[in-house]
Amino acid sequence: MTQGSARPKRGLFGRLRPNRLLTSLFRPIWRMRRGLTLGAQGAVIDAEGRVLLVRHGYRPGWWFPGGGVEWGETLLVALTRELEEEVGVTLTGEPELHGIFSNFASFRGDHIAVFVVRHWQRQGDYYKRGEIAEAAMFAPEDLPEPIDAGTRARIKEIFDKAPLRALW
């Protein structure tokens, strides 16, 4: 792990920390009061050139693993935490920032930082039950359906060198 990316402390509820519960309860109110939300997602790529995607239990489509940046976290700490929590991926080297994208589909102030992760290890086929319905590796030419449009666009940028688009 890199400096500043130590594993976060667990709360009284184990993996479900009180901050996460409060965040989900108060998110609608905060979005009305705050001008910006920020997430970190990882395009986790294996030695065969496949990318790790997840299907959530609460929204349709396949996505990169990741989630929101909490108060007091850097983007790298949030990415590290989310990858470990959601899919059991531990970073073994520095990820590369691919870009920061505006995701106005659900909230006009939402932004997502996408990192390319090539140096990592994983706890078998672990994924967080409940939040994540399924996690799997896919070749860029054989992506699952339905896949989130922004995730598909980022895959084309990373693998096919398509021009970066500012919008998710």
Give me 155's structure tokens. Answer: 């895959």
Residues comprising the chain, all counted = 168
Q: What is the pLDDT of residue 41?
A: 98
All structural domains of the chain, each given as residue ranges with its CATH number in brackets, are 36-160 (3.90.79.10)
Alpha carbon separation from 94 to 42, 58, 88, 133, 142 (Å, rounded): 12, 30, 17, 28, 27
pTM higher than the cut 0.85: no
H/E stretch holding 40 reads strand 37-44
Which segments of the chain have a pLDDT < 50? 1-17
- Percent of the chain topping pLDDT 70: 80
Model pLDDT for residues 84-109, shown as the tens digit of each residue:
999 999 999 999 999 999 998 877 88
